[in-house]
Amino acid sequence: MFLDRDGVINRALEHELRPYPPKNLAQFEIFPEVLAACARLRAAGFVLVVATNQPDVGRGTMSQQIVEEIHGYVLSHLPIDRIEVCYHAGRGMSDCNCRKPKPGMLLHAAREMGIDLGQSWMVGDRWRDVDCGQAAGCKTIFIDRGYAEELKVRPDFSVRDLGEAAELILNTTINNS
């Protein structure tokens, strides 16, 4: 199971209906439903991997140390198994296989951890997450935060938050067993 970070795990900072990552740990706020949702998914046997683009590092507007501090906090407060990060700048300034919407982070984690992508889910709040999950062969869940951007492909499901996504995943898994 793959989760985007900003907008899924934690509150994204918004400016003109566009999401931005927190600039430091003090701005990092885990959504209230996330701990319980992650705990339920882990108890059901899911491996939880965060896959996040952090292009501000590649653009020089945020230090990698701050991102790693935030990820240390995530790993110490949530039952997350692994965090995959793309630090590349994007916006035509870099070309890599790991920056979502490309599926490189999911493919890497799947190889390293023996994850069956066909049985996996990608949960995200932006078009890049949905496209990435579909490119990797995962089922996709879009958390609609009302941002001013359009989806490019249709997700398998749309929900309000990670708690609702976890409920959907657990019900779908139980009903398909």
Rounded CA-CA distance 9/129 in Å is 13
DSSP class of residue 90 equals -
How many whole angstroms separate alpha carbon 10 and alpha carbon 53? 14
Which amino acid would we find at residue 124? G
* Residue 125 is a catalytic residue: no
Longest C-alpha distance within the chain, in Å?
A: 47
Q: What sign for the dihedral angle of Cα 38, 159, 71, 69?
A: negative
Tell me, yes or no, if 4 is annotated catalytic. Answer: yes
The residue annotated as part of the active site, out of 6, 125, 131, 161, is 6
Catalytic site positions: 4, 6
